[in-house]
Amino acid sequence: MLERVPLLEKDLADYADVAGPEAVERICALAEPLRGARILHLNATAYGGGVAELLATHVPLLRSVGIEAEWQVIHGSDEFFTVTKAVHNALQGADVEWTSDMQRTYLEKVLDNALLLEGTYDFIVVHDPQPVALLTFLHDTAVDTPDMRWIWRCHIDLTDANPEVWEFFRPHVERYDASVWTMPEFVPSSLEMERVVQAPPCIDPLSVKNLDLPAPFVTEICKQYGVDTRRPFVCQVSRFDPWKDPVGVIEAFRVIREKVPDAQLVLAGSMATDDPEGFRVWEQTEEARAGDKDIHLLSNIQQVGNVQINAFQRAADVVLQKSIREGFGLTVSEGLWKGRPVIGGRAGGIALQVRDGLDGYLVDSVEECAHRTIELLEDPATADTMGANGREHVRKNFISTRELEDWLRLFTELQP
Ligand code: UDP
C-alpha cells in the first residue's frame, strides 16, 4: 500500500465568516450528489512546498462535505527524486540532459508505486509529473475500473518546457480524462485532451500559517529569531530553489540597504523531501549572505514552522517573492492575506495574485525589486493600502472554498 498522509479534521461551516455563507451553501449543493464518492489525491511529498500545503486543507474539506477523500504519497529514492527534480526544471525551461538511464529510473520507480496502489476509487487526482505515469501502468487493471476518472493536476508552468522531456511525458498525460492548470497559458499547445480546466490554487485562511496572530506574539517570535520589528524588515518564504532566486533577493537587499541602512531580511525556506537541490542552493545562499548579521537565513532545521512563517509574513513591511519561474506561489497570497504588499517576480501565477501597482509590484530584475521595495519602505501608508487591497483580492479569489467549488464542479462534470 502507498503511504497515507494523516489529516486534520476541518469543517466547511467554519469558513462561512471569511468566504460568505453563500459560498458555503453553493458548495453544499454541489457536494450533495457526490456524497460517498471515493477520491484519492496522490503526490510526491507530504511535507514542504505548495502541493502538500494545498492538500492538507483540500482533502479534509472534501471529507467535511461527505466525500470519502484521502491523500497518499508515492515513495521515491534519492535517485528518483534527483531525476524528478531535473524533470521539474526541464519542464520549467531549463536545459537538462534527458538520458535513457534517467527515463529508466523514473519509469521503474513509478511502476513500483503502481503495484502498491490499492483500493477502488471514483476519481484519482495525480499531482505533477512525479507520479503521472502511474496510469500508464494501471490502465485496465483492477484499480482502473471503467467508471473511474483520472485527473492530472499540473502545478508548474510548461510555457517554455524542454521539448524532449515534455514529449516523453505527453503520452502519459494524454491518458487522463482531464487536466487542471493554474493558468491557461501554461498548457502546451501539443496537448491533446478534451477537458482542460483552469483552477488556480488557494490558501487556507484558517490554517495555523494564515490565522490572525496577536501583535505581541508576532513581535516575540521575530525577536526569538533575531529580527527587530521596530526596524524595516522584508522577507521571502520559499524552498531553496534556483527558480525562487534567493541569491537575487540578497543582491536586491544590498541595494535596499544603501538607502535604508537599518533594513533586515529574512529568507525562510523549508527543505522538501522531494527536492534534493535544497542543500546546494542553501549553501549558495549562505555564501551570498557572506556572514551579514541582518540577513537571516532560516529553515525548518531552525524549527521554522507554520507559526513562525505566519509571524514573519505578518511582521514584514514588504513581502518578496522574486521568482524567475513560478507555478502559482502560495506565499504571495499568504503575504497579501496578512495585509502586506507583495513584490513578486513577473512569473506565472504571481501575476494572477499581484495586480501591479494595486497589491504590490511585479518586477523583472534585481534593481527593480530593490527600488520598489525602497519605495514601499519609505511610504508605509501606501504599503498598508496595497496590503489591504491584496487581502480583499485574496479573499475573493484565492481561499480554499473557491478551489473546493472548482473541484466539485469538475467531479460533477466527469461523473459517468
Ligand atoms: N513554506 C513553509 N516553510 C518554508 C518555506 C515554504 O511552510 O520554510 C511553505 C510556504 O508558506 C507555502 C509553500 O511552502 O505555503 C510553498 O508554496 P509555493 O506555491 O509558494 O511554492 P512551491 O514550493 O510549491 O514551489
pLDDT, tens only, 168-222: 999 999 999 999 999 999 999 999 999 999 999 999 999 999 999 999 999 999 9
Q: What is the average pLDDT across 65-82?
A: 97
Average pLDDT, the chain: 96
Q: What is the average pLDDT across 281-302?
A: 95
Quote the pLDDT of residue 125: 98
CA of 270 to the centre of ligand 1 (A): 7
How far apart (Å, rounded) are the C-alpha atoms in residues 196 and 336?
29
Q: Is the CB of 238 under 6 A from ligand 1?
A: yes
Quote the pLDDT of residue 301: 84
Domain boundaries, the chain: 3-202+399-414, 215-397
Contact 154/134 with Cβ under 8 angstroms? no
Q: What is the average pLDDT across 345-355?
A: 97
CA separation (Å) from 411 to 39, 187, 406? Answer: 10, 20, 9
Which ligand 1 atom is at minimum distance from the Cα of 243? 25
Atom 2 of ligand 1 has which residue's CA nearest to it? Answer: 270
CA of 195 to the centre of ligand 1 (A): 29
Residue 338 burial class via C-beta count within 10 angstroms: exposed 0-12, middle 13-18, buried 19 and up: buried
- Tell me if the domain spanning 215-397 has CATH number 3.30.530.20: no
Q: Is the CB of 269 under 6 A from ligand 1?
A: yes
CA atoms within 13 A on the CB side of 388: 6
CA of 331 to the centre of ligand 1 (A): 6
How far apart (Å, rounded) are the C-alpha atoms in residues 31 and 18?
20
Four-residue CA torsion sign, 98, 99, 102, 106: positive
CA of 237 to the centre of ligand 1 (A): 7
Quote the pLDDT of residue 186: 97
pTM score, whole prediction: 0.95
Pocket test for ligand 1, best of 331, 334, 336, 338 (most atoms within 8 A of CB): 331
pLDDT, tens only, 123-166: 999 999 999 999 999 988 888 889 999 999 999 999 999 999 99
CB neighbourhood size of 396 (10 A):
11
215-397 has the same fold as 3-202+399-414: yes
Quote the pLDDT of residue 279: 87
What string of H, E and C letters represents the secondary structure of 219-248?
HHHHHHCCCCCCCCEEEEECCCCHHHCHHH
Q: Predicted confidence band at 89 (pLDDT cuts at 50, 70, 90)?
A: very high
Q: Which fold has domain 3-202+399-414?
A: Rossmann fold (3.40.50)
CA of 203 to the centre of ligand 1 (A): 11
Sort strands 38-43 and 68-73 into parallel, antiparallel or unpaired: parallel
Write the Ramachandran bin of 354: left for phi over 0, alpha for psi from -120 to 50, otherwise beta. beta
Atom 14 of ligand 1 has which residue's CA nearest to it? Answer: 49
pLDDT, tens only, 271-284: 766 777 888 999 99
**Residue 319 pLDDT > 90:** yes
Contact 208/310 with Cβ under 8 angstroms? yes
Q: Is the CB of 330 under 6 A from ligand 1?
A: yes
Contact 390/342 with Cβ under 8 angstroms? yes
**Residue 367 pLDDT > 90:** yes
Write the Ramachandran bin of 30: left for phi over 0, alpha for psi from -120 to 50, otherwise beta. alpha
Q: Is the CB of 57 under 6 A from ligand 1?
A: no
Quote the pLDDT of residue 66: 98
CA of 416 to the centre of ligand 1 (A): 36
**Residue 262 pLDDT > 90:** yes
Place of cell 486534520: 8
pLDDT, tens only, 9-39: 999 999 999 999 999 999 999 999 999 999 9
Which ligand 1 atom is at minimum distance from the Cα of 298? 8
Q: Is the CB of 329 under 6 A from ligand 1?
A: yes
Atom 10 of ligand 1 has which residue's CA nearest to it? Answer: 331
Q: What is the average pLDDT across 45-64?
A: 94
Tell me the residue length of the chain: 416
Atom 3 of ligand 1 has which residue's CA nearest to it? Answer: 270
Closest CA to 268 of 307, 231, 228: 307
CB neighbourhood size of 16 (10 A):
15
CA of 154 to the centre of ligand 1 (A): 17
Contact 90/163 with Cβ under 8 angstroms? no
